[in-house]
Amino acid sequence: MTSLLDIAPITETVDIRGSTLVLHGITNSDMAVLMRRFPLFGRQSSGMPTDPDEAMVIGIEMMPALIAAGLGQLGNPEIEAAVDQRLSSTEMIEVLGVVMRLTNPGQEISRPLAGAAGGDGAGLSGAAPATK
């Protein structure tokens, strides 16, 4: 009989300018840590009304933390700074899209967070990207 311990974690790789990042979804316990660190994100996630402009700012601020968590480096200030300083907005959106898809397959993330880097949330829906 198979148990939960037999289920391998899902990972996905993303190539960024010749470097390969191994990403995984954010665990519920790690998400709780992020919600304590970014209370507006917690309120927004629970469906409480939030100011769209404030939500956009917090989305931008927390993108490096979400990506670091998806790299298995929750709360690592060095990794968060590297994400912020070395990845372009487009690269952050790509990486965050994978992390969120692995975190909640098939579910959309909030639009303010999805558009935090200036996008409309395309690619962050939790759905696999369309192929041509």
- Please report, in tens digits, the pLDDT of each residue of the chain (132 residues total): 888 877 777 899 999 999 999 999 999 999 999 999 999 888 888 888 888 888 888 889 999 999 999 999 999 999 999 999 999 999 999 999 999 999 988 776 554 445 444 444 443 434 444 333
In single-letter form, the type of residue at position 131 comes to: T
Q: How far is Cα 122 from Cα 115, in angstroms, rounded to an integer? A: 8
| Model confidence, pTM | 0.77
Q: How far is Cα 132 from Cα 68, in angstroms, rounded to an integer? A: 30
